A and B are shown apart, each in its own frame.
Chain A
Amino acid sequence: MSDPTTQNTICLEEATIISQQSFPGDQYILRVHAPRSAARAIPGSFAHLACGPAIPMRRPLSIMRAHQRKGWLEFLYKPVGAGLEHLKKQTTGETLSLLGPIGNGFTPDPRRPNILAIGGGVGIPPMIFLAESLQNDNRFEVLVMMGSEVPFPFELSKAGISVSRVPPTASYGVTLLEEWGTPSRVASKAGYEGCFQGFVTELARIWLSKLSAQELQKVQLLGCGPTDMLKATTVLAKNFDLPCQLALEEYMACGVGGCAGCTVLLHTPQGPTMKRVCVDGPVFDAYQIY
């Protein structure tokens, strides 16, 4: 339907690769110059990238960081499938067709100032973006919890910003987030130093269970990660009676709402409905998904 508020919101630009770094666990952080998309990106939004001429279908990647002034976007991905396998071979100076930014981002509720942002694996990027964008927003205090079963592709260091009632084994945080003044804690079953030994949602449960009823009324959950993590996050939300928004992934073709290929079944008060992850999401109310 014709909606002036959505027209011309997505840019098609030739993005030049600034850097592509590989990390243990077959992880890559890609930074591209895409100034028009960078100017509009919001936490939770994504870009639809053409990975190379041999792989014409685009691949959606969550935006991890966007620098408006310098005009770059940053992504974290694991090369799952032919498209991203091709993408990882692209080097500095090469260009990629980029469609973005796409999608509705997280909309934290100002009535609940304490955000617990839970990210798992390649679902971590939106939480980094959220932390960076809210670092100077006095309405919110963000605590980021991240889980990964491969080494985190970020520098970790002993957490300087204290968070009460977090298990002492979760002693490390992400250095970059610390620099932004955002506390973070990491979890893994792989036994990495400073990490909580278990799933990130277990770490979150322990922390939430130690909050008073009054404190819980100030908390909201935001999540992005593998399906099992999203389900576990929703269980936490229901158990502790917290609002919860989740960013979803699905195979995508057009990325602009035209093909209905990326839909998710939502349970709304009006009954079941199929919504497009690309432009109706990718962020949805967890209570409508699970």
Chain B
Amino acid sequence: MSSRLALKFCGLQLSSPIVLLSGCVGFGEEYTRVEGFSNQDVGAIVLKGTTSQPRLGNPPHRLWETPSGMLNAIGLQNPGIDKVVTEILPSLNFSETCFIANVCGSTVDEYAEVTRRFDDSPIDAMEINISCPNVKEGGVAFGNYPDMSARVVEACRDVTDKPLITKLSPNQTDIAANARACIEAGSDALAVINTIMGMAIDVETQRPIIGNVQGGLSGPAIRPIALLKVHQVYEVAGPQGIPILGQGGIETAADAIEFLLAGATTIGLGTALFYDPLAAKKINSGIEEYLGRHGFSSVADLTGQLNLSDMQNTPASG
């Protein structure tokens, strides 16, 4: 891969700005089933959300396609931290890409405990998931309130020196205020955004389609919302040197570049993989072509290059 795509992200050296997102790629090796796919094509992979104990997750149906997107309510199905650390992590090839854990919990103590276990593992970094919309305890119950978000981040910060990325919820009034609280609490980076809560109803049976009643909306439908949230968070995080993992409906290199211009340092792929499992290769090529055409020597130079000169109204935070 071109050195122009290499960059630093909260202390990690990445070969590409592309990050494969938690919940879309299992525990890191699932997509290697597909011919032509390689973990070496991406800068990092965020593993499936992990809790202290095994979780079966939500009942079916867990998925539903919606216009330009999809709803999901998996419910953090995972084998628990013991199995992840002792069986799964040793099987991953850390020479191919960086692996980031996704830390979940129902209590502040559980977040801290899972973080502590990952701290004592080869994992490269941890993403604190305070924004999962599909569990009854934890998740957005923490992530929608800045003071609660900060408590979780502080508890995790206390037990690790590894990079901490806090995944912010779009389901809140003022995401910038939450970003500020998480930075003050010790977050090294911010992931913007998690899915947006939604639902679908089968009008024939008059019942919710998703087994969990509600789910998280992802895909191109949420891209403009995610882009604005990245822009708003960058206003807070940029001046403090806190990088952003921008995510929400990115499908193409042009989409990725939008997020980089808005303030993201890295960009996440999730739902796009379901459409095209080999999307990362194409996006890498597209970004590289763009860098050449616009005379940028590094992808890092794109971050926050949004030109707002002569704009009468900049978007309001919140």
Contacts and interface: CB of A to CB of B under 8 A. Distances in A.
A10 B62 contact: no
Contact of B62 (A36, A83, A262): A262
Interface string B62-84: 11110010101010010000000
Given A1-B87, A8-B35, A264-B60, A50 B26 contact: no
A9 B275 contact: no
A251 B29 CA distance: 22
A260 B35 contact: no
- Interface of B: prevailing SS: loop
Given A258-B26, A274-B77, A2 B32 contact: yes
B34 interface: yes
Nearest to B62: A261
Contact of A260 (B26, B274, B275): B26
Contact of B34 (A10, A82, A262): A10
B57 A263 contact: yes
Contacts of B48: 260
Contacts of B65: 55, 57, 82-83
B247 to A, nearest CB: 15
B161 interface: no
Nearest to A97: B276
Contacts of A3: 29, 91
A143 B245 CA distance: 56
Q: Which of B32, B68, B93 has the most CB of A within 10 A?
A: B32
Contacts of A50: 275
A212 interface: no
Interface string A30-49: 00000010000000000000
A269 interface: no
Given A1-B91, A2-B91, A12-B277, A256 B34 contact: yes
A251 to B, nearest CB: 5
A162 interface: no
A261 B72 contact: yes
Interface in B269-293: 271, 273-278
Contacts of A97: 276
Contacts of B1: none
A8 B92 contact: no
B145 interface: no
A1 B29 contact: yes
B77 A263 contact: yes
B26 A263 contact: no
B214 to A, nearest CB: 15
Contacts of B273: 254, 258
A70 to B, nearest CB: 21
Interface in B26-44: 26-27, 29-36
Nearest to A256: B33
A274 B48 CA distance: 15
B278 A10 contact: no
B56 interface: yes
Given A1-B87, A274-B56, A274-B57, A256 B36 contact: no
Q: Which of A10, A254, A272 has the most CB of B within 10 A?
A: A254
23 contacts: A2-B91, A2-B92, A6-B33, A7-B32, A7-B33, A12-B276, A57-B65, A57-B70, A57-B274, A250-B61, A251-B62, A253-B63, A254-B24, A254-B30, A254-B273, A257-B30, A258-B24, A258-B26, A259-B23, A259-B274, A262-B62, A265-B59, A273-B56
Interface of B: 23-27, 29-36, 48, 56-57, 59-65, 68, 70, 72, 74, 77, 87-88, 91-93, 219, 271, 273-278
Interface of A: 1-3, 6-12, 36, 50, 55-58, 82-83, 97, 99, 250-265, 272-274, 279
Given A254-B273, A279-B30, 9 more contacts: A6-B33, A50-B275, A58-B275, A254-B274, A256-B34, A259-B23, A259-B72, A260-B26, A274-B57
A-B complex: 8 closest residue pairs judged by Cβ atoms:
A261-B63, A258-B30, A257-B30, A57-B65, A56-B275, A1-B91, A258-B25, A2-B91
